[in-house]
Amino acid sequence: MASSATPPVPTSKVLVIGAGAVGAFYGSLLAQVGAEVSVVCRSDYEQVKQHDFIINSQALGRWSFTPANVLKEVADFKGTADYILLCTKVIPALNRIALIRPAVGRNTSIVFIQNGVEIEQEMQDAFPNNEVVSGLAFICCNRLGPGEILHLAYGRLALGNLPSGVSRKTARLCELFNQAGIDCGTSEDIVSGRWQKCVWNAPFNPLSVLSGGLLTLDILQTQESLVRSIMQEVCDIAAASGHPLPDDIVNINIDNTYAMPPYKTSMLLDYENGQPMETEAILGNALRAAQRLGIAAPHLESVYALMKLRELKLGN
Amino acid sequence: MASSATPPVPTSKVLVIGAGAVGAFYGSLLAQVGAEVSVVCRSDYEQVKQHDFIINSQALGRWSFTPANVLKEVADFKGTADYILLCTKVIPALNRIALIRPAVGRNTSIVFIQNGVEIEQEMQDAFPNNEVVSGLAFICCNRLGPGEILHLAYGRLALGNLPSGVSRKTARLCELFNQAGIDCGTSEDIVSGRWQKCVWNAPFNPLSVLSGGLLTLDILQTQESLVRSIMQEVCDIAAASGHPLPDDIVNINIDNTYAMPPYKTSMLLDYENGQPMETEAILGNALRAAQRLGIAAPHLESVYALMKLRELKLGN
């Protein structure tokens, strides 16, 4: 006789790697809804080990987050993670594959919540027998100090398996986020979502840095034409790579940016804090795709070259 | 019976307007060969009135320059100048025509030694009955302090009448400069020379600023492709405006820049000193010509837009 009772859902074991603002925020929410969440945090290890994370969210209130385990190194993780949540920046100095490998078990789903385009293939190649899930976060949050996170606005997530589709485990993770109060959706074609996010990131991130620190609204009000040109080039590259974006995507991005409060981009925050910027993940990868596919992208090319000069100067 | 004696050449009366580094340097050389040189210098007036200019040239030695008259305002000039030497920067805040008008007499030749393209027409329109001479200086000199000029390198001048040709008075001025030890040439088509100078200025000036202060060699070694793209666009615009440049001009500029010592551009010096930059004269005018003539210049367009953002930020 069939039982009508739902079988108990086993506790999900989650390992967050790169517990900066984004990782700590999303990890703490999964812990709130019952997941067993461990974190690897190198620079803030002592603070978090002794005093937990403190999350201040303008929308969700203030809470502290005590991870199941606070680890200095990925190799220190014991047991098997159902999900690795990789939340580092994507920068050339950091080998994402080598970083996570010690914690990847047979049944581990690798979820990366990161910026950039064309950052998928190397993960699929490195872990061909694991589920690899690409995640996009639409969030504004900052690390104020060791273990202290400020969530300013937004928070929406999109998740989807690579190369495409949505697995049962991905759907389950999405459900957990929604239980925790986060608007999380799944996408059968997350790679298109990644290009779509790049439409906004490719102009505003570098222009905020190269201008010397302008907010989004100032950039848009004075140089909308350059912003549109870069956006259109990203759309052209996305289409050529098999991920055509909606026809009105540039207009929507422009309108939304006019409507939202003036915003300091993540690249500008990195720049001001002397941190490496995601120039290669966002601009370099898009431009290399353009070159591979034979798409002209002269505005993107100019902005990328200027960012490389800026980085060269910073390295001096 | 005809006399074989050369008639005495009358002393040339020269009024230098904008006696910064370039104006004081060239003015002092004309004084050395017998011209009667007055200067208008506003900010350094007291110093120069009491202690003259001091010119330190690595090639020509050190000398002091006592102008025939040191004036605070153009309107203070008495008498008639044979030549006005206009050596200010070309920036939107400064009305060049209104500035010089009080000193322009019936026989005054107006000589501007200034940067930029398409800065000629307004002068021809404003002074249709005067000779207007366009001058290009290839020089590296800085104002070290009030009345104190450092001449680092180069010094070549090119002079030509507008809209074209070389008048007797222009040839005479050129002769004076050569007597003073300056390599000065005349050009039947000085407007082409102005575009040719822009080929170098259009990439290196803004890239030095937008990179945050790189010297020419660093820019070239890491982003030669962007430099070449901007140079080629300037060539395309020049050609469309009726001033085709030599086929190999881009290669020559690249080779020369590799060969010369790493150099801090004038725009970068202005930027570092908090002075207005010649963004409009060099980039804005070139781009407006491109738009008028239907020439695509996406790299120049990007760099110009970024300079406008940088200026907006500086104005905050």
* Across B258-271, average pLDDT: 91
A267 and A164 within one domain: no
Any idea which residue has 């104020």 for tokens? A144
Asked if A223 lies within 8 A of B298 by C-beta distance, the reply is no
Partner residue facing B306 (CB), from A211, A312, A314: A211
Bridging pattern class, strands A148-161 and A53-57: parallel
Give, in degrees to the nearest 5, the angle at Cα A92 between A90 and A97: 70
CA distance A146 to chain B (A): 30
d(CA A300, CA B299): 9
d(CA A148, CA B133): 65
DSSP assignment of A205-242 equals HHHHHHTTS--HHHHHHHHHHHHHHHHHHHHHHHHHTT
d(CA A33, CA A42): 25
Whether residue B202 is contained in a domain is answered as yes
B166 and B66 within one domain: yes
Residue A2 has pLDDT above 50, yes or no: no
- Tell me the average pLDDT of chain B: 94
* Across B108-119, average pLDDT: 97
B123 and B80 within one domain: yes
Whether residue A295 is contained in a domain is answered as yes
Asked if B226 lies within 8 A of A312 by C-beta distance, the reply is no
d(CA B31, CA B39): 11
For residue B145 the two structure tokens come to 């302090």
A168 and A41 within one domain: yes
- For position B243, what pLDDT does the model report? 97
State percent of chain A over pLDDT 70.
Answer: 97
Asked if B211 lies within 8 A of A298 by C-beta distance, the reply is no
Residues of A within 8 A of B298 (CB-CB) are: 229, 298-299, 302
A248 and A233 within one domain: yes
A198 and A177 within one domain: no
- Residue B82's identity, in one-letter code, is D
- For position B316, what pLDDT does the model report? 53
Q: Which 102-121 residues of chain B touch chain A by CB within 8 A? A: none
| Residue B273: C-alpha distances to residues A121, B181, B212, B267 (Å) | 47, 31, 13, 10
Does residue A163 have a cis bond before it (omega within 30 degrees)?
yes
CB pairs under 8 A between A and B: 91
> What's the whole-model pTM score?
0.90
- CATH number at A53 reads 3.40.50.720
Note the pLDDT tens digit of each residue in A121-132: 999 999 999 999
- For position A7, what pLDDT does the model report? 60
The boundaries of the domain holding residue A278 are 193-314
B52 SS3 class: coil
Note the pLDDT tens digit of each residue in B183-230: 999 999 999 999 999 999 999 999 999 999 999 999 999 999 999 999
Partner residue facing A214 (CB), from B211, B219, B313: B313
Work out the pLDDT band at A5, boundaries 50, 70, 90: low
- For position B228, what pLDDT does the model report? 98
Nearest CA in chain A to B303: A302
Partner residue facing A211 (CB), from B229, B303, B310: B310
Instruction: Judge whether A288 is closer than 8 Å to chain B, CB to CB.
Output: no
Residues of B within 8 A of A288 (CB-CB) are: none
B203 and B166 within one domain: no
d(CA A146, CA A53): 8
Look at residues A188, A216, A232 and tell me which one is the last residue of a structural domain. Answer: A188
Residue A13 has pLDDT above 50, yes or no: yes
B171 and B301 within one domain: no
Asked if B211 lies within 8 A of A313 by C-beta distance, the reply is yes
Asked if B301 lies within 8 A of A301 by C-beta distance, the reply is no
* Across A176-194, average pLDDT: 96
Note the pLDDT tens digit of each residue in A285-303: 999 999 999 999 999 999 9
User: Are the C-beta atoms of A281 and A270 separated by less than 8 Å?
Assistant: no
Note the pLDDT tens digit of each residue in A232-243: 999 999 999 999
List, in order, residues 6 or more apart from B145 with CB less than 8 Å away: none
A57 and A170 within one domain: yes
Note the pLDDT tens digit of each residue in B134-165: 999 999 888 889 999 999 888 999 999 999 99
Give me the residues paired with residue A111 across strands: A85, A133
A3 SS3 class: coil
Residues of A within 8 A of B218 (CB-CB) are: 309, 312-313
For residue B229 the two structure tokens come to 């793209």
d(CA B195, CA A59): 57
d(CA B138, CA B22): 10
Look at residues B145, B162, B188 and tell me which one is the last residue of a structural domain. Answer: B188
Instruction: Provide the number of structural domains found in chain B.
Output: 2
- For position B263, what pLDDT does the model report? 84
d(CA B16, CA B110): 10
Instruction: Judge whether A310 is closer than 8 Å to chain B, CB to CB.
Output: yes
Work out the pLDDT band at B46, boundaries 50, 70, 90: very high
Asked if A214 lies within 8 A of B306 by C-beta distance, the reply is no
- For position A1, what pLDDT does the model report? 45
User: Are the C-beta atoms of A304 and A288 separated by less than 8 Å?
Assistant: no
d(CA B83, CA B183): 19
Asked if A302 lies within 8 A of B213 by C-beta distance, the reply is no
B203 and B63 within one domain: no
Any idea which residue has 């991870």 for tokens? A67
Residues of A within 8 A of B307 (CB-CB) are: none
* Across A165-190, average pLDDT: 97
Instruction: Return the exposure string of B40-74: e unless at least 16 CB atoms fall within 10 Å of the residue's CB, then b.
Output: bbeebbebbeeebbbbebeebeeeebebeebbeeb
User: Are the C-beta atoms of A244 and A238 separated by less than 8 Å?
Assistant: yes
Note the pLDDT tens digit of each residue in B285-304: 999 999 999 999 999 999 99
For residue B162 the two structure tokens come to 């507008």
Whether residue A138 is contained in a domain is answered as yes
A183 and A216 within one domain: no
Instruction: Judge whether A219 is closer than 8 Å to chain B, CB to CB.
Output: yes
Nearest CA in chain A to B228: A302
Whether residue B46 is contained in a domain is answered as yes
Whether residue B47 is contained in a domain is answered as yes
* Across B236-260, average pLDDT: 96
State percent of chain B over pLDDT 70.
Answer: 97
Whether residue A21 is contained in a domain is answered as yes
Whether residue A2 is contained in a domain is answered as no
- For position B7, what pLDDT does the model report? 60
* Across B261-287, average pLDDT: 94
Whether residue A35 is contained in a domain is answered as yes
Partner residue facing B310 (CB), from A212, A302, A308: A212
Work out the pLDDT band at B261, boundaries 50, 70, 90: confident
- CATH number at A273 reads 1.10.1040.10
Asked if A298 lies within 8 A of B303 by C-beta distance, the reply is no
A51 and A80 within one domain: yes
Reported ipTM exceeds the 0.90 cut = no
Note the pLDDT tens digit of each residue in A232-280: 999 999 999 999 999 999 999 999 999 988 888 999 999 999 999 999 9
Look at residues B188, B215, B235 and tell me which one is the last residue of a structural domain. Answer: B188
Maximum distance among all Cα pairs of chain A, rounded to whole angstroms: 74
For residue B115 the two structure tokens come to 């940067």
